Amino acid sequence: MSGQSGLSAGSRSRRGQGGVTGAVLVAFLLAGCESAPTSRAAAEVAVFVALVDKANGCSEECGGTVLRRLPTVRWDSDPSGKNKASGSLGGTVGFKATYDQSQGWMVELQAC
């Protein structure tokens, strides 16, 4: 699994029921829906959705991971207004983020 997740205002879970949909809703509420699609806040929402998706990406037979705290997002440079950015979660798990106007931020976590 690549750990890649896309986020846009109309985003739906790729896994259907019980998937990322709830995380998308919570993340939008936390980040504020009024942020510009290319903003740092919108990019961070996509990073957190990718994290939740990756942590719960198994066959769903073994349960999933409940994140009690979200790790700190550390950007190599501010992603606002850019179409590519990179950084790390908690200083350990790297990620690459790409903005596509039709899909929003696409994030690939660099973890297995």
According to the model, what pLDDT value does residue 109 have? Answer: 93
Q: What is the distance, to the nearest Å, from the Cα of residue 16 to the centroid of all Cα atoms in its chain?
A: 17
Backbone angles phi, psi at 109, to 5 degrees: -80, 140
Number of compact structural domains in the chain = 1
According to the model, what pLDDT value does residue 63 have? Answer: 67
Q: Which domain holds residue 93?
A: 4-110
What is the pTM for the complete model shown?
0.67
Cβ distance 23 to 37 under 8 Å? no
Distance CA 4, CA 2 (A): 5
According to the model, what pLDDT value does residue 59 have? Answer: 62
Query: pLDDT by residue for the chain (112 residues), tens digit each?
Result: 344 444 443 333 344 444 444 555 565 556 555 678 888 888 988 898 888 888 877 666 666 777 778 889 999 999 988 999 999 998 899 999 999 988 899 999 998 7
